[in-house]
A = this chain, B = another copy of it.
């Protein structure tokens, strides 16, 4: 039996981040999930969102963690010698750059992208009230962040350098939602050629597409 256990649904962005990391590191694990099926028709795919924090728990006998980015760091540290060894870099300098861009995702990318997914993909379907002001602010902020990325990705192929790392990985779940569910936000990515090239490179990785497949099958969380 695998000693690593993840509790949660792959439909959650937080869980998806951790699963991608486990696949990249080729770690044996168990996914323990409770999926709720409604008797009537299956909800459409675009309802597979996680607007307000689906629970995620990671356990490996020694540690219990609940934050997806902390979990990814823990996995990359614990399994340094297996799977993708570039995820957290091979030296101190590389690692510093990765950790910086990982913080960038968490501090400036996550907020506008999660907000836009919530209001533009999720809220209309659940008939929740729209906060136009918040959407406007988030769009502006996302544009600003993507401008920074566009410039950065003119110098390097991936955010932290020339290799795919945790910094890129952390962007996958929310960007995937924006690209597939929110056309007006997808357009923001598409009009920035370096960002778009980066997105194509990171989203076509087989470890990630495997998680997308898992998400397709999960019933809606919403």
Which residues of A are in contact with B by a Cβ distance under 8 Å? 1-2, 22-23, 25-40, 42, 82-83, 210, 213-214, 216-217
Contacts and interface: CB of A to CB of B under 8 A. Distances in A.
B39 A30 contact: no
Contact of A34 (B31, B35, B40): B31
Contacts of A40: 26
B42 A27 contact: no
B210 A42 contact: yes
Contacts of A31: 34-35, 37
For the complex of A and B, the 6 pairs showing the least CB-CB separation, nearest first, are A26-B39, A217-B217, A28-B39, A31-B35, A32-B34, A27-B39
Number of copies: 2
A79 to B, nearest CB: 9
Contacts of A32: 32-34
Contacts of A30: 34-37
A23 B219 CA distance: 13
Nearest to A7: B34
Nearest to A39: B26
Nearest to A28: B39
Given A213-B217, A217-B216, A217-B217, A36 B28 contact: yes
Nearest to A219: B31
28 contacts: A1-B36, A2-B36, A2-B37, A22-B37, A22-B39, A23-B37, A25-B39, A26-B39, A27-B39, A28-B36, A28-B37, A28-B38, A28-B39, A29-B36, A29-B37, A30-B34, A30-B37, A31-B34, A31-B35, A31-B37, A32-B32, A32-B33, A33-B33, A33-B35, A39-B82, A39-B83, A42-B210, A217-B217
Contacts of A83: 39
A51 to B, nearest CB: 19
Contacts of A35: 30-31, 33
A66 to B, nearest CB: 19
Interface centre among A22, A26, A35 (most CB of B within 10 A): A35
